[in-house]
Amino acid sequence: MSRRKNIAIRYIALAAIAAAILAVVPFLGSRSVSFADISHIFSGGAKTVGERIFWDIRMPRVLLAFIAGATLSVCGLSFQSIFRNPLADPFLLGVSGGAALGAVVAIRFGLTFSFLGVIGPQLFAFAGALATIFIVYGIAKSHKGFTVATMLLTGVAVSFFFSALIMMVQYIADFSNSFAMVRWMMGSMSIVGFKPVIQISVLSAAGVFVVFLKRSEMNLMMAGDELAAGRGVDVEKTRRAIFIAVSLATGAVVAICGPIGFVGLIIPHIMRIIFGADHFDLAPACLIGGGAFLVLCDTAARLVILPAEIPVGIVTAMLGGPFFIWLLFRNPN
């Protein structure tokens, strides 16, 4: 039908933009890399400096940003759908804060083991995220007349509490460790080599995969729990599955890149405007759009104060703060 065709065209446009961003961005930076630099690899011989920068630093970083952005965006979408509110973002609900606390505790106590590509801080971040979801959701639900506003406020309170705990862990850490933690808390994409890319991918992919399995259920839950149950959705089971998936994915991202906010708020909103509400269209669009968006933000973070760079979390927050306020006024409820 014509609607389908319309969506297909939008998909092609989105994919083309994402591909263009991914193709161009690795060449930009404090030291420019030419195409000759990287084509050198195919002809053999010793690695040039440009080549090293491209393959060991820029490419892993771009991939990391893409995966992190895609994951955070899909997580945001799933929360907004099951809570029926465009402001329900894991970052704003304190889930990223819980994940950060878990990761900080693991790092502080040296629990940095690695197993099947998954590292200790990610598992602790997962536990922190999951605990936060159940705390925030539990408190908001036990409050008379559950609303997402109650949940957001609970999330804010829990976030403050966690950041106090994180500061305490940082304070008692030694100086160099402490600086690394502060830097990481601002959201960081500076990695070397592909190892962190693999580390972020395993659990992120698992979480995103589960969210993708629940597209029909999320469609129906947008119409309300009662109607979804009437159509045959096991609402509680779906909610639990999404909670676990989002915790896994958020934990995986936060442990590597730090708590990066607002991607999960901005991108699903824009994609809903472009692709409509059907999650079969929306979820893949958020994946691609979120990835491309964070790559762009990270490029901006690398370029604005050359030759230095700023943390990517600052860029997303500077875009996300005003966006949140705009959303708030657009949705008076």
Partner 1 sequence: MIEQDVKPIYEVSGLSYSINGSTLLHDVSLRVGAGEFLAIIGPNGAGKSTLLRHLIRIIRPADGAVKLFGRNINDFKQREIAARVGYVPQNGPDSLPFTAMQFVIMGRYPHINPLARPGADEEERALSLLSKVGMASFADRQLDKLSGGERQKIYIAAALAQQPDILLLDEPTTFLDPKHQCDIHDTLESLNRESNIAVIAVSHDINFASRFSRRVIAMKKGAVVFDGPVADVLYNGRLESLFDTPFDFLSQEKSGDIFAFPRRKK
**Nearer to partner 1 by C-beta: 72 or 218?**
218
Kindly state whether residue 203 participates in binding partner 1, applying the rule CB under 8 A.
Answer: no
Q: Quick one: tokens of 174?
A: 């030694």
Number of residues that bind partner 1 (CB under 8 A): 26
Q: Residue 196 CA to chain centroid, in angstroms?
A: 15
If binding is defined by CB under 8 A, does position 84 make contact with partner 1?
yes
Q: Left, alpha or beta for 116 (phi > 0: left; psi -120 to 50: alpha)? A: left
Instruction: Return the number of the residue (15 or 131) whose C-beta is nearest partner 1.
Output: 15
Contact between 230 and partner 1 per CB under 8 A: yes
Tokens 């990270």 sit on residue? 298
DSSP code of residue 53:
I
Q: Examine residue 227 and tell whether it contacts partner 1 (CB under 8 A).
A: yes
Binding residues for partner 1 restricted to 9-48, rule: CB under 8 A: none
> Rounded distance, CA 188 to CA 217, Å?
34
* DSSP code at position 48: P
Residue 141 interacting with partner 1 (CB under 8 A) = no
Q: How big is the CA angle at 230 (ends 229 and 235), to the nearest 5 degrees?
A: 5
112, 235, 237, 268 from 240: Cα distances, Å: 28, 9, 5, 21
25 or 241, CB closer to partner 1? Answer: 241
Stretch that binds partner 1, among 93-101, 232-240, 249-257, 293-301 (CB under 8 A): 232-240
Using CB under 8 A as the binding rule, whether residue 332 contacts partner 1 is answered as no
Element (H, E) at 103: helix 95-108
Q: Is residue 80 near partner 1 by the rule CB under 8 A? A: no
Stretch binding partner 1 (CB under 8 A), from 67-75, 131-139, 203-211, 221-229:
221-229
Binding characters for partner 1, 240-279, by CB under 8 A (x = yes): --------------------------------x---xxx-
User: Looking at beta carbons only, is 156 or 229 nearer to partner 1?
Assistant: 229
Does 210 participate in binding partner 1 (rule CB under 8 A)? no
Beta strands in the chain (DSSP E): 114-115, 118-119
Residue 116: Cβ within 10 Å count = 5
Cβ atoms of residues 184 and 47 within 8 Å = no
- Range in contact with partner 1 (rule: CB under 8 A) among 16-24, 129-137, 209-217, 300-308: 209-217
**Both tokens of residue 173?**
């850490």
C-beta neighbour count of 331 within 10 angstroms:
11
In the set 9, 213, 304, 328, which binds partner 1 (CB under 8 A)? 213
Q: Does 239 bind partner 1 (CB under 8 A)?
A: no
Q: How far is the CB of 69 from partner 1 (least distance, A)?
A: 24
| CA dist., res. 19 & res. 242, Å (int) | 29
Shorter beta-carbon distance to partner 1: residue 52 or 141: 141
What token pair was written down for 194? 């592909």
Q: Is 329 in the site for partner 1 (CB under 8 A)?
A: no
Identity (one letter) of the amino acid at 331? N
- List residues near partner 1 by CB under 8 A: 1, 3, 84, 213, 215-217, 219-220, 222-224, 226-227, 229-235, 272, 276-278, 280
